[in-house]
Amino acid sequence: MQKYRTQFVMATILSCRGTTPEVDRSCFLAPNAIIVGDVRIAAHCSVWFNAVIRGDVNRIRIGSNSNVQDGAVIHCTYEKTSVDIGSFVSIGHQAIVHGAKVEDFVLIGMGAIVMDNVHIGHHSLVGAGSVVLEGTKIEPYSVWAGNPAKFIKTLPDRLKEGEIERIARNYSLYSSWFKD
């Protein structure tokens, strides 16, 4: 059986309107991830397969140890909203974060949609498939779910003590499997 060499393929990183994304060297970027424009990604983050981070119309900032999972989209509204994502944030598969502020230690579930001017407090969880409507403020230590998303409960102690951080750290581990 013939063995094939793996090729190193870079993610697509594009300048837009005179600004080039800044990505810390410690980050993992999947080969088909797309990062455009005014984007800054801090240390030890991962951007997974088919994820799109589009800072073409406004700025996007992502704190350390965060992960943007497969097929997720992060975008903003021209001259109105930017995106600020804290540290140890997990943005689930095919989730959309649009013009929102997400504090540290937040889990946004798979397929969730977070609209403009949403503010998600630290140590919170947005359930899979939820739609967080424009202008919603999610208090720290909250669980929100549904369409439209509503407050469900205060985050249980077992999640307060590190489950959200554990998931973010797991993605750091997973990304190490793709590095030399």
Identify the CATH number of the domain in which residue 155 sits.
2.160.10.10
Task: List pLDDT tens digits, range 101-140.
Answer: 999 999 999 999 999 999 999 999 999 999 999 999 999 9
Q: Is residue 156 part of a domain?
A: yes
Query: 44 falls in which pLDDT band (50, 70, 90)?
Result: very high
What pLDDT, on the 0 to 100 scale, is given for residue 9?
A: 62
Q: Is residue 5 part of a domain?
A: no
Domain range for 152 is: 12-176
Query: 171 falls in which pLDDT band (50, 70, 90)?
Result: very high
Tokens of 11: 């993610």
- Lowest mean pLDDT: which of 12-21, 56-65, 101-110, 160-169? 160-169
Q: Is residue 2 part of a domain?
A: no
Is the pTM value of this prediction over 0.85? Answer: yes
Residue range 79-86: average pLDDT?
97
Q: Is residue 7 part of a domain?
A: no
Q: Is residue 95 part of a domain?
A: yes
- Burial of 82-102, coded b for 16+ CB within 10 Å and e otherwise, reads bbebbbbbbbbbbbbbbbbbb
Residue type, 9: V
Q: Is residue 4 part of a domain?
A: no
Q: Is residue 6 part of a domain?
A: no
Residue range 134-155: average pLDDT?
97
What pLDDT, on the 0 to 100 scale, is given for residue 10?
A: 85
pLDDT averaged over every residue in the chain: 93
Residue range 76-90: average pLDDT?
97
Domain count for the chain, please give it.
Answer: 1
CB atoms under 10 Å from CB of 167, counted, come to 17
Residue range 57-64: average pLDDT?
98
Beta-bridge partners for 98: 75
CB atoms under 10 Å from CB of 178, counted, come to 14
* SS3 annotation, 87-153: CCCEECCCCEEECCEECCCEEECCCCEECCCCEECCCEEECCCCEECCCCEECCCEEEEECCEEEEE
Query: 2 falls in which pLDDT band (50, 70, 90)?
Result: very low
Query: 157 falls in which pLDDT band (50, 70, 90)?
Result: confident
